[in-house]
Amino acid sequence: MSEAVVERANALVTETFIASAGPGGQNVNKVATAVQLRLDVYALRLAPPVFARLKQLAGSRMTARGELVLTARTFRTQEANRTDARERMAELLREAHQLPEKRAKSRLNRVGKTQRLKGKKIRGAVKAGRGKVSFD
């Protein structure tokens, strides 16, 4: 299912090449090698739980209008940065489609429970002894 969404996302992506900082010497000043991908997440029509996970995973990379913005400027060529950005976007979408593992409740046995309660009593006594000192 997520691969179909990734393919749909690739069709909806808009690419912009921008000037990049970093390695490249004079080439950095002449060529726009960094790529910025913009994807309208609402156009993907994701299921609400998947959308919520994507929004949480994306964090500040998701705008208020529902656009996912990824910038890649690691490499010195446009093509390498484009590939990097598209792979990162695909990985983000795949991760959003994965259900989080359910946490199994831990079960304490009788001995563990009594030890825990005993520790709480000791801690409570220590804290109770920290009160205001009266000289009566």
0.85 exceeded by the pTM?
no
Domain ranges for the chain, please list them.
2-97
Please check whether the domain covering 2-97 is classified as CATH 3.30.160.20.
yes
Task: Give the CA distances from residue 114 to residues 70, 74, 76, 106, 119, in Å, rounded to whole numbers and listed in that order.
Answer: 52, 56, 62, 16, 9
State pLDDT tens for residues 78-120: 899 999 999 999 999 999 999 989 999 888 899 999 999 999 9
The answer to whether 81 and 73 have CB atoms below 8 angstroms apart is: yes
State pLDDT tens for residues 29-46: 778 888 999 999 898 888
